[in-house]
């Protein structure tokens, strides 16, 4: 994707996200804001299963993965919030909130 020519359209629905999609945290014209998605899930229960699976393992760059639950806005329920697991370029993997001020995957069409 050429981000210099990229003009975001609608954010795609959470249900349509696939592993390997690239979202953005902040301005999608800045490649440093790109967030590669590995998995998605709903709420604290999904997060706890993910943590049991990946915490302590090594990321492709050799660093140890140590996930923490994101700060959830007061008006959101931590048991039903939409979450994505992935990472920004050169940063360790993390779990982020999907939509709002979190990760957004845009329709490229």
Domain boundaries along the sequence of the chain: 21-104
Query: What's the whole-number mean pLDDT along residues 35-41?
Result: 97
What pLDDT shows up at residue 6?
Answer: 54
Q: Is the pLDDT of residue 107 over 90?
A: no
Angle, vertex CA 39, rays to CA 35 and CA 21, nearest 5? 45
pLDDT in tens, 86-102: 999 888 999 999 998 89
Sign, CA dihedral 23-25-28-34, equals negative
pTM for the model stands at 0.88
pLDDT of 15 higher than 60? yes
What is the model's pLDDT at position 58? 92
């Amino acid at each position: 994707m050429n981000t210099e020519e990229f003009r975001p359209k609608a954010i795609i629905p959470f249900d349509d996200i696939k592993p390997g999609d690239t979202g953005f945290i902040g301005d999608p014209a800045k490649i440093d804001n790109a967030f590669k998605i590995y998995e998605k899930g709903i709420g604290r229960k999904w997060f706890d299963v993910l943590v049991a699976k990946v915490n302590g393992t090594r990321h492709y760059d050799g660093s140890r993965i140590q996930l923490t639950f994101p700060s959830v806005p007061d008006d959101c329920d931590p048991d039903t919030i939409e979450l994505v697991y992935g990472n920004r370029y050169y940063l360790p993997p993390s779990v982020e909130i999907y939509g709002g001020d979190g990760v957004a995957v845009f329709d490229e069409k």
